Structure 1
Protein backbone atom coordinates (compact mmCIF):
# COMPACT_ATOMS: atom_id res chain seq x y z
CA UNK A 1 0.00 0.00 0.00
CA UNK A 2 1.51 3.30 -1.09
CA UNK A 3 1.27 6.60 0.71
CA UNK A 4 -1.79 7.74 -1.21
CA UNK A 5 -3.63 4.54 -0.36
CA UNK A 6 -2.80 5.01 3.31
CA UNK A 7 -4.16 8.54 3.24
CA UNK A 8 -7.34 7.42 1.49
CA UNK A 9 -7.85 4.58 3.97
CA UNK A 10 -7.34 6.98 6.84
CA UNK A 11 -9.86 9.40 5.39
CA UNK A 12 -12.39 6.59 5.01
CA UNK A 13 -11.92 5.58 8.63
CA UNK A 14 -12.27 9.19 9.72
CA UNK A 15 -15.39 9.66 7.60
CA UNK A 16 -16.89 6.50 9.07
CA UNK A 17 -16.17 7.69 12.59
CA UNK A 18 -17.75 11.07 11.85
CA UNK A 19 -20.86 9.45 10.40
CA UNK A 20 -21.13 7.08 13.37
CA UNK A 21 -20.71 9.95 15.84
CA UNK A 22 -23.30 12.04 14.01
CA UNK A 23 -25.74 9.12 14.01
CA UNK A 24 -25.19 8.63 17.75
CA UNK A 25 -25.77 12.32 18.48
CA UNK A 26 -28.90 12.36 16.32
CA UNK A 27 -30.27 9.28 18.09
CA UNK A 28 -29.51 10.82 21.47
CA UNK A 29 -31.26 14.03 20.46
CA UNK A 30 -34.35 12.29 19.10
CA UNK A 31 -34.65 9.80 21.97
CA UNK A 32 -34.41 12.34 24.78
CA UNK A 33 -38.09 12.15 25.62
CA UNK A 34 -37.92 8.36 25.96
CA UNK A 35 -34.83 8.62 28.14
CA UNK A 36 -36.33 11.29 30.38
CA UNK A 37 -39.98 10.29 30.68
CA UNK A 38 -40.62 6.71 31.75
CA UNK A 39 -44.33 6.56 32.54
CA UNK A 40 -46.37 3.52 33.51
CA UNK A 41 -50.04 3.42 32.58
CA UNK A 42 -51.40 0.75 34.92
CA UNK A 43 -51.92 1.64 38.58
CA UNK A 44 -50.22 -0.87 40.87
CA UNK A 45 -52.40 -0.03 43.90
CA UNK A 46 -54.49 2.72 45.46
CA UNK A 47 -54.28 4.52 48.81
CA UNK A 48 -57.10 2.25 50.02
CA UNK A 49 -54.65 -0.66 49.83
CA UNK A 50 -52.57 1.19 52.41
CA UNK A 51 -55.60 1.97 54.58
CA UNK A 52 -55.85 5.60 53.48
CA UNK A 53 -59.03 7.53 52.66
CA UNK A 54 -58.80 9.28 49.31
CA UNK A 55 -60.74 10.91 46.52
CA UNK A 56 -60.13 9.88 42.92
CA UNK A 57 -59.76 13.17 41.02
CA UNK A 58 -60.13 13.90 37.30
CA UNK A 59 -59.46 17.42 36.00
CA UNK A 60 -58.46 19.07 32.71
CA UNK A 61 -55.28 21.02 32.05
CA UNK A 62 -55.50 24.44 30.38
CA UNK A 63 -54.93 22.85 26.96
CA UNK A 64 -57.70 20.30 27.50
CA UNK A 65 -55.49 17.34 28.44
CA UNK A 66 -57.36 15.05 30.84
CA UNK A 67 -55.43 14.59 34.08
CA UNK A 68 -55.91 12.36 37.10
CA UNK A 69 -54.78 12.32 40.71
CA UNK A 70 -55.62 11.43 44.29
CA UNK A 71 -56.63 13.79 47.04
CA UNK A 72 -55.98 12.53 50.55
CA UNK A 73 -57.55 14.82 53.16
CA UNK A 74 -55.65 15.74 56.29
CA UNK A 75 -56.85 17.26 59.56
CA UNK A 76 -59.41 20.08 59.06
CA UNK A 77 -57.64 23.40 58.50
CA UNK A 78 -54.26 21.68 58.20
CA UNK A 79 -51.62 21.95 55.48
CA UNK A 80 -51.91 20.17 52.13
CA UNK A 81 -48.90 18.90 50.22
CA UNK A 82 -49.08 19.28 46.43
CA UNK A 83 -46.92 16.34 45.33
CA UNK A 84 -44.98 16.55 42.02
CA UNK A 85 -43.46 13.12 41.49
CA UNK A 86 -40.43 11.97 39.52
CA UNK A 87 -39.93 10.83 35.95
CA UNK A 88 -40.88 7.15 36.22
CA UNK A 89 -43.96 5.10 37.08
CA UNK A 90 -47.08 6.91 38.24
CA UNK A 91 -48.82 8.04 41.42
CA UNK A 92 -49.43 4.47 42.57
CA UNK A 93 -45.67 4.00 43.05
CA UNK A 94 -45.61 6.69 45.75
CA UNK A 95 -47.80 4.97 48.36
CA UNK A 96 -44.97 4.80 50.90
CA UNK A 97 -44.64 8.57 50.74
CA UNK A 98 -48.39 9.04 51.05
CA UNK A 99 -48.45 6.90 54.19
CA UNK A 100 -45.51 8.81 55.65
CA UNK A 101 -47.07 12.23 54.97
CA UNK A 102 -50.42 11.06 56.36
CA UNK A 103 -48.73 10.06 59.61
CA UNK A 104 -47.23 13.55 59.76
CA UNK A 105 -50.70 15.08 59.65
CA UNK A 106 -50.46 16.35 56.08
CA UNK A 107 -53.18 16.28 53.48
CA UNK A 108 -51.83 15.37 50.04
CA UNK A 109 -52.85 16.00 46.46
CA UNK A 110 -50.72 13.85 44.15
CA UNK A 111 -51.33 13.95 40.41
CA UNK A 112 -49.99 12.27 37.30
CA UNK A 113 -48.43 14.32 34.55
CA UNK A 114 -49.85 13.88 31.06
CA UNK A 115 -48.96 10.46 29.70
CA UNK A 116 -48.58 8.96 33.18
CA UNK A 117 -51.09 6.65 34.84
CA UNK A 118 -54.61 7.52 33.74
CA UNK A 119 -53.68 11.01 32.51
CA UNK A 120 -53.93 11.38 28.74
CA UNK A 121 -51.49 13.03 26.38
CA UNK A 122 -47.72 12.92 25.96
CA UNK A 123 -45.29 14.44 28.48
CA UNK A 124 -43.00 17.35 27.68
CA UNK A 125 -41.56 20.22 29.71
CA UNK A 126 -44.28 22.75 28.93
CA UNK A 127 -46.95 20.14 29.54
CA UNK A 128 -45.69 19.07 32.96
CA UNK A 129 -45.73 22.71 34.01
CA UNK A 130 -49.31 23.14 32.81
CA UNK A 131 -50.27 20.01 34.72
CA UNK A 132 -48.73 21.25 37.98
CA UNK A 133 -50.36 24.65 37.55
CA UNK A 134 -53.76 23.05 37.01
CA UNK A 135 -53.28 20.84 40.07
CA UNK A 136 -52.61 24.01 42.07
CA UNK A 137 -55.75 25.61 40.67
CA UNK A 138 -57.78 22.52 41.52
CA UNK A 139 -56.71 22.79 45.15
CA UNK A 140 -57.29 26.54 45.40
CA UNK A 141 -60.32 27.09 43.18
CA UNK A 142 -62.22 23.83 43.30
CA UNK A 143 -61.24 22.47 46.71
CA UNK A 144 -61.08 25.87 48.38
CA UNK A 145 -57.67 25.38 50.02
CA UNK A 146 -56.04 28.77 50.79
CA UNK A 147 -52.59 29.18 49.18
CA UNK A 148 -51.17 29.80 52.65
CA UNK A 149 -51.97 26.18 53.55
CA UNK A 150 -50.44 24.58 50.46
CA UNK A 151 -46.89 23.20 50.49
CA UNK A 152 -45.51 22.53 47.00
CA UNK A 153 -43.36 19.39 47.07
CA UNK A 154 -41.21 17.97 44.28
CA UNK A 155 -38.96 14.93 44.19
CA UNK A 156 -36.31 14.31 41.50
CA UNK A 157 -37.68 15.62 38.17
CA UNK A 158 -40.66 16.84 40.18
CA UNK A 159 -38.31 19.17 42.03
CA UNK A 160 -37.85 21.22 38.87
CA UNK A 161 -41.61 21.16 38.20
CA UNK A 162 -42.35 22.21 41.79
CA UNK A 163 -39.75 25.01 41.79
CA UNK A 164 -41.16 26.49 38.60
CA UNK A 165 -44.69 26.34 40.00
CA UNK A 166 -43.67 27.93 43.31
CA UNK A 167 -41.97 30.75 41.39
CA UNK A 168 -45.31 31.62 39.78
CA UNK A 169 -47.72 31.14 42.69
CA UNK A 170 -47.43 31.88 46.41
CA UNK A 171 -47.54 28.67 48.45
CA UNK A 172 -46.82 28.41 52.16
CA UNK A 173 -43.53 26.68 51.40
CA UNK A 174 -41.56 24.72 48.81
CA UNK A 175 -39.75 21.41 49.32
CA UNK A 176 -37.26 20.31 46.65
CA UNK A 177 -35.99 16.77 47.20
CA UNK A 178 -33.23 14.92 45.32
CA UNK A 179 -33.45 17.34 42.39
CA UNK A 180 -30.85 18.25 39.78
CA UNK A 181 -29.85 21.86 39.12
CA UNK A 182 -30.89 21.57 35.48
CA UNK A 183 -31.20 18.79 32.95
CA UNK A 184 -28.27 20.07 30.82
CA UNK A 185 -26.10 20.11 33.98
CA UNK A 186 -26.98 16.50 34.75
CA UNK A 187 -26.63 15.42 31.12
CA UNK A 188 -23.10 16.86 31.00
CA UNK A 189 -22.17 14.60 33.91
CA UNK A 190 -23.96 11.51 32.61
CA UNK A 191 -22.56 11.86 29.07
CA UNK A 192 -19.13 13.50 29.48
CA UNK A 193 -17.96 11.90 26.21
CA UNK A 194 -20.69 13.57 24.14
CA UNK A 195 -19.65 16.91 22.60
CA UNK A 196 -22.12 19.78 22.85
CA UNK A 197 -24.35 17.69 25.11
CA UNK A 198 -25.75 20.82 26.76
CA UNK A 199 -26.84 22.24 23.42
CA UNK A 200 -28.39 18.93 22.46
CA UNK A 201 -30.74 19.03 25.44
CA UNK A 202 -34.29 19.70 24.26
CA UNK A 203 -35.49 19.99 27.86
CA UNK A 204 -34.13 22.42 30.42
CA UNK A 205 -35.93 21.84 33.75
CA UNK A 206 -33.76 24.53 35.32
CA UNK A 207 -34.43 24.00 39.02
CA UNK A 208 -31.67 26.37 40.10
CA UNK A 209 -32.98 29.24 37.97
CA UNK A 210 -36.55 28.75 39.18
CA UNK A 211 -35.38 28.73 42.80
CA UNK A 212 -33.90 32.20 42.35
CA UNK A 213 -37.45 33.49 41.72
CA UNK A 214 -39.18 31.68 44.60
CA UNK A 215 -40.27 33.97 47.45
CA UNK A 216 -41.63 31.47 49.97
CA UNK A 217 -39.57 29.44 52.49
CA UNK A 218 -37.57 26.71 50.73
CA UNK A 219 -36.31 23.35 52.00
CA UNK A 220 -33.74 21.48 49.90
CA UNK A 221 -33.41 17.77 50.71
CA UNK A 222 -30.56 15.64 49.36
CA UNK A 223 -28.40 12.65 50.22
CA UNK A 224 -24.63 12.37 49.67
CA UNK A 225 -25.34 8.73 48.73
CA UNK A 226 -27.63 9.68 45.84
CA UNK A 227 -26.39 7.57 42.94
CA UNK A 228 -28.41 9.32 40.23
CA UNK A 229 -28.32 13.02 41.08
CA UNK A 230 -25.00 13.90 42.76
CA UNK A 231 -25.09 15.66 46.13
CA UNK A 232 -23.51 18.84 44.77
CA UNK A 233 -26.72 19.48 42.80
CA UNK A 234 -28.57 19.77 46.09
CA UNK A 235 -25.93 22.09 47.48
CA UNK A 236 -26.11 24.30 44.38
CA UNK A 237 -29.91 24.39 44.54
CA UNK A 238 -29.70 25.50 48.16
CA UNK A 239 -27.27 28.27 47.26
CA UNK A 240 -29.61 29.47 44.51
CA UNK A 241 -32.61 29.75 46.83
CA UNK A 242 -33.15 33.20 48.31
CA UNK A 243 -34.73 34.33 51.54
CA UNK A 244 -35.82 31.85 54.20
CA UNK A 245 -34.26 28.49 53.35
CA UNK A 246 -32.99 25.30 54.96
CA UNK A 247 -31.03 22.23 53.90
CA UNK A 248 -31.86 18.72 55.09
CA UNK A 249 -29.08 16.17 54.62
CA UNK A 250 -30.45 12.65 54.50
CA UNK A 251 -28.96 9.20 53.85
CA UNK A 252 -29.76 6.51 51.30
CA UNK A 253 -30.11 6.38 47.56
CA UNK A 254 -32.03 8.48 45.10
CA UNK A 255 -35.24 6.47 45.35
CA UNK A 256 -35.19 5.33 48.97
CA UNK A 257 -33.45 8.09 50.89
CA UNK A 258 -36.68 9.40 52.43
CA UNK A 259 -37.37 5.90 53.80
CA UNK A 260 -33.86 4.95 54.91
CA UNK A 261 -33.39 8.26 56.71
CA UNK A 262 -36.32 7.55 59.04
CA UNK A 263 -36.81 10.16 61.75
CA UNK A 264 -34.08 12.37 60.29
CA UNK A 265 -36.32 12.91 57.28
CA UNK A 266 -39.69 13.24 59.00
CA UNK A 267 -38.42 15.39 61.88
CA UNK A 268 -36.47 17.63 59.52
CA UNK A 269 -39.47 18.09 57.27
CA UNK A 270 -41.79 18.76 60.23
CA UNK A 271 -39.33 21.24 61.72
CA UNK A 272 -39.12 23.18 58.47
CA UNK A 273 -42.88 23.25 57.90
CA UNK A 274 -43.48 24.34 61.49
CA UNK A 275 -40.98 27.18 61.11
CA UNK A 276 -42.53 28.14 57.76
CA UNK A 277 -45.90 28.52 59.46
CA UNK A 278 -47.50 25.70 57.47
CA UNK A 279 -49.39 24.41 60.50
CA UNK A 280 -47.31 21.30 61.17
CA UNK A 281 -46.45 20.44 64.75
CA UNK A 282 -42.70 20.25 65.22
CA UNK A 283 -41.44 16.79 66.15
CA UNK A 284 -39.97 16.51 69.67
Structure 2
Protein backbone atom coordinates (compact mmCIF):
# COMPACT_ATOMS: atom_id res chain seq x y z
CA UNK A 1 0.00 0.00 0.00
CA UNK A 2 2.84 2.36 0.88
CA UNK A 3 4.51 1.63 -2.47
CA UNK A 4 1.26 2.41 -4.31
CA UNK A 5 0.92 5.73 -2.50
CA UNK A 6 4.51 6.62 -3.38
CA UNK A 7 3.86 5.86 -7.03
CA UNK A 8 0.72 8.01 -7.00
CA UNK A 9 2.69 10.84 -5.42
CA UNK A 10 5.41 10.53 -8.05
CA UNK A 11 2.82 10.56 -10.82
CA UNK A 12 1.14 13.61 -9.31
CA UNK A 13 4.44 15.45 -8.98
CA UNK A 14 5.36 14.52 -12.54
CA UNK A 15 2.01 15.71 -13.81
CA UNK A 16 2.33 18.99 -11.92
CA UNK A 17 5.82 19.57 -13.29
CA UNK A 18 4.67 18.75 -16.82
CA UNK A 19 1.63 21.00 -16.46
CA UNK A 20 3.75 23.85 -15.07
CA UNK A 21 6.27 23.54 -17.90
CA UNK A 22 3.48 23.49 -20.48
CA UNK A 23 1.82 26.49 -18.82
CA UNK A 24 5.03 28.50 -18.96
CA UNK A 25 5.77 27.39 -22.54
CA UNK A 26 2.28 28.35 -23.73
CA UNK A 27 2.54 31.55 -21.70
CA UNK A 28 5.82 32.40 -23.41
CA UNK A 29 4.18 31.94 -26.80
CA UNK A 30 1.23 34.13 -25.80
CA UNK A 31 3.53 36.77 -24.32
CA UNK A 32 5.77 36.94 -27.38
CA UNK A 33 2.76 37.03 -29.70
CA UNK A 34 0.98 39.75 -27.71
CA UNK A 35 4.14 41.81 -27.23
CA UNK A 36 5.58 41.44 -30.73
CA UNK A 37 6.31 44.70 -32.56
CA UNK A 38 5.83 44.85 -36.33
CA UNK A 39 8.97 46.64 -37.48
CA UNK A 40 7.40 47.82 -40.73
CA UNK A 41 5.07 50.40 -39.15
CA UNK A 42 2.15 48.69 -40.88
CA UNK A 43 3.41 49.82 -44.28
CA UNK A 44 3.66 53.51 -43.36
CA UNK A 45 7.42 54.09 -43.40
CA UNK A 46 7.13 56.13 -46.62
CA UNK A 47 4.86 58.67 -44.91
CA UNK A 48 6.27 62.05 -43.94
CA UNK A 49 4.60 65.17 -42.51
CA UNK A 50 4.69 66.77 -45.96
CA UNK A 51 3.23 63.71 -47.72
CA UNK A 52 1.19 61.08 -45.89
CA UNK A 53 -1.72 58.73 -46.56
CA UNK A 54 -3.97 56.56 -44.40
CA UNK A 55 -3.17 52.85 -44.33
CA UNK A 56 -4.34 49.88 -42.30
CA UNK A 57 -2.33 46.64 -42.40
CA UNK A 58 -0.31 48.18 -45.22
CA UNK A 59 -3.41 48.78 -47.36
CA UNK A 60 -4.07 52.36 -48.39
CA UNK A 61 -7.61 53.66 -47.96
CA UNK A 62 -9.44 56.15 -50.17
CA UNK A 63 -9.19 59.09 -47.77
CA UNK A 64 -7.50 62.10 -49.34
CA UNK A 65 -5.38 63.78 -46.65
CA UNK A 66 -3.31 65.99 -48.93
CA UNK A 67 -4.84 69.21 -47.57
CA UNK A 68 -3.30 68.36 -44.19
CA UNK A 69 0.28 67.88 -45.30
CA UNK A 70 2.71 70.23 -43.58
CA UNK A 71 6.38 71.09 -43.99
CA UNK A 72 9.10 72.93 -42.05
CA UNK A 73 9.71 69.99 -39.73
CA UNK A 74 13.00 68.60 -38.51
CA UNK A 75 14.22 65.35 -36.96
CA UNK A 76 15.63 65.36 -33.45
CA UNK A 77 17.13 62.66 -31.26
CA UNK A 78 16.13 62.35 -27.62
CA UNK A 79 17.99 60.71 -24.76
CA UNK A 80 16.64 58.99 -21.69
CA UNK A 81 17.83 59.20 -18.13
CA UNK A 82 19.63 55.97 -17.10
CA UNK A 83 18.93 54.20 -20.42
CA UNK A 84 21.22 54.02 -23.45
CA UNK A 85 18.42 54.34 -25.98
CA UNK A 86 17.91 56.58 -28.98
CA UNK A 87 14.42 58.02 -29.38
CA UNK A 88 13.70 59.51 -32.79
CA UNK A 89 11.24 62.38 -33.17
CA UNK A 90 9.97 64.99 -35.61
CA UNK A 91 9.29 68.52 -34.44
CA UNK A 92 7.53 71.35 -36.16
CA UNK A 93 7.77 74.68 -34.35
CA UNK A 94 5.21 77.42 -34.73
CA UNK A 95 6.10 81.08 -34.72
CA UNK A 96 6.04 82.92 -31.41
CA UNK A 97 5.45 81.42 -27.99
CA UNK A 98 2.93 78.77 -28.99
CA UNK A 99 1.92 75.81 -26.79
CA UNK A 100 3.24 72.36 -27.72
CA UNK A 101 1.53 69.00 -28.18
CA UNK A 102 3.40 65.68 -28.08
CA UNK A 103 1.96 62.82 -30.20
CA UNK A 104 2.45 59.10 -29.43
CA UNK A 105 1.63 56.31 -31.92
CA UNK A 106 0.18 52.83 -31.36
CA UNK A 107 1.47 49.24 -31.34
CA UNK A 108 3.63 48.28 -34.32
CA UNK A 109 3.12 51.76 -35.69
CA UNK A 110 5.41 54.81 -35.66
CA UNK A 111 5.45 58.56 -36.10
CA UNK A 112 4.94 57.99 -39.86
CA UNK A 113 1.36 56.79 -39.32
CA UNK A 114 -1.62 58.96 -40.25
CA UNK A 115 -3.08 58.23 -36.79
CA UNK A 116 -0.62 60.75 -35.34
CA UNK A 117 0.30 62.75 -38.44
CA UNK A 118 -3.30 63.80 -39.13
CA UNK A 119 -4.14 65.10 -35.62
CA UNK A 120 -0.70 66.74 -35.47
CA UNK A 121 -1.49 68.50 -38.75
CA UNK A 122 -4.78 69.71 -37.31
CA UNK A 123 -2.94 71.30 -34.41
CA UNK A 124 -0.26 72.79 -36.68
CA UNK A 125 -3.07 74.54 -38.51
CA UNK A 126 -4.29 75.92 -35.18
CA UNK A 127 -0.88 77.45 -34.50
CA UNK A 128 0.62 74.86 -32.14
CA UNK A 129 4.14 73.48 -32.13
CA UNK A 130 4.16 69.68 -32.32
CA UNK A 131 6.43 66.72 -31.64
CA UNK A 132 5.85 63.18 -32.94
CA UNK A 133 8.14 60.51 -31.52
CA UNK A 134 8.84 56.82 -32.08
CA UNK A 135 8.64 54.75 -28.92
CA UNK A 136 11.40 52.20 -28.33
CA UNK A 137 11.21 49.14 -30.63
CA UNK A 138 9.30 51.26 -33.17
CA UNK A 139 10.17 53.33 -36.22
CA UNK A 140 13.63 54.89 -36.15
CA UNK A 141 14.13 54.54 -32.39
CA UNK A 142 16.35 51.95 -30.70
CA UNK A 143 15.38 48.30 -30.98
CA UNK A 144 16.36 45.69 -28.43
CA UNK A 145 14.18 42.59 -28.76
CA UNK A 146 11.15 43.67 -30.87
CA UNK A 147 8.85 43.31 -27.86
CA UNK A 148 6.81 46.07 -26.25
CA UNK A 149 6.04 46.22 -22.55
CA UNK A 150 2.48 47.63 -22.68
CA UNK A 151 3.73 51.01 -21.52
CA UNK A 152 5.63 49.70 -18.47
CA UNK A 153 8.90 51.03 -19.93
CA UNK A 154 7.66 53.12 -22.85
CA UNK A 155 6.18 55.78 -20.60
CA UNK A 156 9.80 56.90 -20.14
CA UNK A 157 9.94 57.60 -23.89
CA UNK A 158 6.89 59.83 -23.55
CA UNK A 159 8.50 61.64 -20.64
CA UNK A 160 11.71 62.13 -22.63
CA UNK A 161 9.70 64.03 -25.24
CA UNK A 162 7.80 66.01 -22.62
CA UNK A 163 11.02 66.97 -20.81
CA UNK A 164 12.70 67.99 -24.08
CA UNK A 165 9.86 70.41 -24.76
CA UNK A 166 9.74 71.65 -21.17
CA UNK A 167 13.47 71.88 -20.43
CA UNK A 168 15.19 72.39 -23.78
CA UNK A 169 12.54 74.67 -25.25
CA UNK A 170 11.60 76.29 -21.97
CA UNK A 171 7.86 75.77 -22.43
CA UNK A 172 5.81 76.00 -19.20
CA UNK A 173 4.22 72.70 -18.15
CA UNK A 174 0.73 74.18 -18.41
CA UNK A 175 1.36 74.89 -22.11
CA UNK A 176 2.26 71.30 -23.07
CA UNK A 177 -0.36 68.74 -24.08
CA UNK A 178 0.12 65.03 -24.81
CA UNK A 179 -1.83 62.90 -27.29
CA UNK A 180 -1.76 59.10 -27.56
CA UNK A 181 -3.53 56.53 -29.72
CA UNK A 182 -4.19 52.87 -28.83
CA UNK A 183 -1.04 51.49 -27.12
CA UNK A 184 0.22 55.06 -27.19
CA UNK A 185 -2.90 56.19 -25.31
CA UNK A 186 -2.30 53.65 -22.56
CA UNK A 187 1.35 54.67 -22.43
CA UNK A 188 0.43 58.36 -22.21
CA UNK A 189 -1.92 57.51 -19.33
CA UNK A 190 0.98 55.89 -17.45
CA UNK A 191 3.16 58.94 -18.14
CA UNK A 192 0.26 61.11 -16.92
CA UNK A 193 0.30 59.14 -13.66
CA UNK A 194 4.09 59.36 -13.35
CA UNK A 195 4.51 63.07 -14.13
CA UNK A 196 2.02 65.26 -12.22
CA UNK A 197 3.03 68.31 -14.25
CA UNK A 198 1.49 66.93 -17.46
CA UNK A 199 -1.39 69.36 -17.75
CA UNK A 200 -3.67 67.89 -20.42
CA UNK A 201 -3.85 64.60 -22.32
CA UNK A 202 -5.98 63.28 -25.19
CA UNK A 203 -6.44 59.48 -25.23
CA UNK A 204 -7.67 57.96 -28.49
CA UNK A 205 -8.89 54.35 -28.12
CA UNK A 206 -7.02 53.61 -24.87
CA UNK A 207 -6.81 50.25 -23.15
CA UNK A 208 -7.61 50.36 -19.45
CA UNK A 209 -6.02 47.06 -18.44
CA UNK A 210 -3.63 44.85 -20.47
CA UNK A 211 -4.75 41.70 -18.66
CA UNK A 212 -8.31 42.29 -19.88
CA UNK A 213 -6.97 42.72 -23.43
CA UNK A 214 -5.01 39.45 -23.34
CA UNK A 215 -7.90 37.53 -21.74
CA UNK A 216 -10.26 38.83 -24.40
CA UNK A 217 -7.87 37.91 -27.23
CA UNK A 218 -7.44 34.41 -25.80
CA UNK A 219 -11.18 33.83 -25.62
CA UNK A 220 -11.66 35.10 -29.18
CA UNK A 221 -8.99 32.63 -30.32
CA UNK A 222 -10.74 29.79 -28.47
CA UNK A 223 -8.30 29.45 -25.55
CA UNK A 224 -9.12 29.58 -21.82
CA UNK A 225 -8.65 33.04 -20.32
CA UNK A 226 -6.60 31.71 -17.38
CA UNK A 227 -3.63 31.30 -19.75
CA UNK A 228 -3.13 35.05 -19.37
CA UNK A 229 -1.43 34.19 -16.09
CA UNK A 230 1.12 32.13 -18.01
CA UNK A 231 1.84 35.10 -20.27
CA UNK A 232 2.40 37.28 -17.22
CA UNK A 233 4.80 34.75 -15.69
CA UNK A 234 6.65 34.31 -19.00
CA UNK A 235 7.15 38.06 -19.27
CA UNK A 236 8.67 38.11 -15.80
CA UNK A 237 10.87 35.06 -16.43
CA UNK A 238 12.18 35.94 -19.88
CA UNK A 239 12.26 39.75 -19.88
CA UNK A 240 11.93 40.75 -16.25
CA UNK A 241 8.85 42.83 -17.09
CA UNK A 242 5.30 42.37 -15.85
CA UNK A 243 3.31 43.70 -18.81
CA UNK A 244 0.20 43.62 -16.65
CA UNK A 245 1.85 45.36 -13.70
CA UNK A 246 0.78 48.99 -13.96
CA UNK A 247 -2.44 49.86 -15.77
CA UNK A 248 -3.55 53.04 -17.58
CA UNK A 249 -6.27 53.35 -14.96
CA UNK A 250 -3.53 54.85 -12.77
CA UNK A 251 -3.56 57.82 -15.10
CA UNK A 252 -7.31 58.24 -14.74
CA UNK A 253 -7.02 57.94 -10.95
CA UNK A 254 -4.28 60.59 -10.80
CA UNK A 255 -6.20 63.27 -12.74
CA UNK A 256 -6.71 65.65 -9.80
CA UNK A 257 -7.06 69.18 -11.17
CA UNK A 258 -5.75 68.23 -14.61
CA UNK A 259 -7.53 67.51 -17.88
CA UNK A 260 -8.34 64.38 -19.90
CA UNK A 261 -10.17 63.86 -23.18
CA UNK A 262 -11.07 60.24 -23.93
CA UNK A 263 -12.30 59.27 -27.40
CA UNK A 264 -13.24 55.67 -28.18
CA UNK A 265 -15.16 54.23 -31.12
CA UNK A 266 -18.27 52.21 -30.34
CA UNK A 267 -17.36 49.70 -33.07
CA UNK A 268 -13.74 49.20 -32.03
CA UNK A 269 -12.99 45.51 -32.50
CA UNK A 270 -9.38 45.72 -31.33
CA UNK A 271 -9.83 47.49 -27.98
CA UNK A 272 -13.54 47.29 -27.05
CA UNK A 273 -15.22 50.54 -26.09
CA UNK A 274 -15.70 49.45 -22.46
CA UNK A 275 -12.00 50.22 -21.94
CA UNK A 276 -12.60 53.86 -22.82
CA UNK A 277 -15.77 53.93 -20.74
CA UNK A 278 -13.91 52.52 -17.73
CA UNK A 279 -11.16 55.14 -18.13
CA UNK A 280 -13.83 57.85 -18.31
CA UNK A 281 -15.75 56.61 -15.26
CA UNK A 282 -12.55 56.32 -13.24
CA UNK A 283 -11.30 59.79 -14.20
CA UNK A 284 -14.66 61.34 -13.30
CA UNK A 285 -14.58 59.59 -9.92
CA UNK A 286 -11.13 60.97 -9.07
CA UNK A 287 -11.36 64.42 -10.68
CA UNK A 288 -11.03 67.43 -8.40
CA UNK A 289 -12.82 70.77 -8.67
CA UNK A 290 -10.53 72.42 -11.22
CA UNK A 291 -10.02 69.32 -13.36
CA UNK A 292 -12.05 68.23 -16.38
CA UNK A 293 -12.94 65.01 -18.17
CA UNK A 294 -14.51 64.87 -21.62
CA UNK A 295 -15.60 61.57 -23.16
CA UNK A 296 -16.73 60.93 -26.72
CA UNK A 297 -17.85 57.62 -28.22
CA UNK A 298 -18.30 58.08 -31.98
CA UNK A 299 -19.62 55.38 -34.30
CA UNK A 300 -18.09 54.39 -37.60
CA UNK A 301 -15.85 51.99 -39.45
CA UNK A 302 -13.36 52.26 -42.29
CA UNK A 303 -13.32 49.90 -45.27
CA UNK A 304 -9.87 48.47 -45.96
CA UNK A 305 -9.33 46.81 -49.30
CA UNK A 306 -12.22 44.78 -50.67
CA UNK A 307 -13.28 42.68 -47.72
CA UNK A 308 -12.04 44.20 -44.47
CA UNK A 309 -13.38 46.82 -42.09
CA UNK A 310 -12.04 48.25 -38.86
CA UNK A 311 -13.46 50.48 -36.15
CA UNK A 312 -10.23 50.87 -34.20
CA UNK A 313 -8.93 54.45 -33.98
CA UNK A 314 -10.77 55.57 -37.11
CA UNK A 315 -12.91 58.49 -35.90
CA UNK A 316 -10.31 61.03 -37.04
CA UNK A 317 -11.16 59.82 -40.56
CA UNK A 318 -14.88 59.10 -40.26
CA UNK A 319 -15.58 62.21 -38.14
CA UNK A 320 -12.75 64.39 -39.43
CA UNK A 321 -14.38 67.81 -39.03
CA UNK A 322 -15.75 67.02 -35.56
CA UNK A 323 -12.41 65.51 -34.49
CA UNK A 324 -10.64 68.67 -35.59
CA UNK A 325 -13.19 70.80 -33.74
CA UNK A 326 -12.99 68.76 -30.52
CA UNK A 327 -9.18 68.92 -30.49
CA UNK A 328 -9.24 72.65 -31.13
CA UNK A 329 -11.68 73.22 -28.26
CA UNK A 330 -10.03 70.88 -25.76
CA UNK A 331 -6.44 71.99 -26.20
CA UNK A 332 -7.46 75.61 -26.73
CA UNK A 333 -9.20 75.60 -23.35
CA UNK A 334 -6.73 73.52 -21.35
CA UNK A 335 -3.54 75.06 -22.80
CA UNK A 336 -5.05 78.54 -22.94
CA UNK A 337 -4.49 78.95 -26.68
CA UNK A 338 -6.83 80.71 -29.09
CA UNK A 339 -6.06 80.97 -32.78
If the TM-score is normalised by the length of the shorter chain, which range does it land in?
0.7 to 0.9
Structure 1: 5+ residue stretches without partners: 1-14
Partner residue, 1:40: 40
Q: What is the rounded CA distance, in whole Å, between the counterparts of 1:208 and 1:127 in structure 2?
A: 16
Partners of 2:265 and 2:313 within 8 A in 1:
no
Off by >6 Å, runs of 4+ in structure 1: 17-21
Give the superposed CA RMSD: 2.6
Q: Give 1:98 shift.
A: 2.8
Aligned residues: 265
Partner of residue 298, structure 2? 250
1:272 paired residue number? 330
- Cα deviation digits, residues 183-213 of structure 1 (max 9, x gap): 1111121212334244233412511122101
Q: Equivalents in 1 of 2:139, 2:26: separation in Å?
A: 31
Distance 1:266 1:119, change over 3 A: same
Q: Is residue 206 from structure 1 mapped to residue 247 from structure 2 by the alignment?
A: yes
Deviation of 1:151 (Å) = 0.6
Change (3 A) 1:229 1:32: closer
Scaled by the length of structure 2, the TM-score of the pair is 0.71
1:175 to 2:205 alignment: no
User: Contact between 2:264 and 2:313, CA under 8 Å: does it hold in 1?
Assistant: no
* Cα separation, partners in 2 of 1:270 and 1:248, compared to 1, 3 Å: farther
Alpha carbons of structure 1 residues 64 and 236: separation in structure 2 relative to 1, 3 Å: same
Q: Is the 8 A contact 2:104 2:111 kept in 1?
A: no
2-side partners of 1:177 and 1:209: how far apart?
17
Residues 26 and 64 (structure 1), Cα distance of their counterparts in 2 relative to 1, 3 Å cut:
closer
Please, what TM-score do these two structures have when normalized by structure 1?
Answer: 0.83
Matched residue, 2:213: 186
Structure 2 SS opposite 1:239: helix
- Superposed CA offset, 1:30-64 (max 9, x none): 44421xx3333783132233332212111212212
- Name stretches of at least 5 consecutive residues in structure 2 with no aligned partner: 1-14, 52-68, 233-241, 301-310
- The residue number in structure 2 matching 1:259 is 317
TM-fit CA distance, 1:280: 4.1
Say yes or no: does 1:87 pair with 2:107.
yes
Taking the aligned partners of 1:249 and 1:100, their CA distance within structure 2 comes to 20
Deviation at 1:129, TM superposition (A): 1.7
Supply the distance in 2 between the matched residues of 1:239 and 1:73 (Cα, whole angstroms).
35
Alignment CA distance shift 1:218-1:255 (3 Å): closer
Give 1:20 deviation, angstroms: 11
Match of 2:137 among 112, 115, 126: 115
Moved more, 245-254 or 157-166: 245-254
Contact 2:204 2:313 in 1 (8 A): no
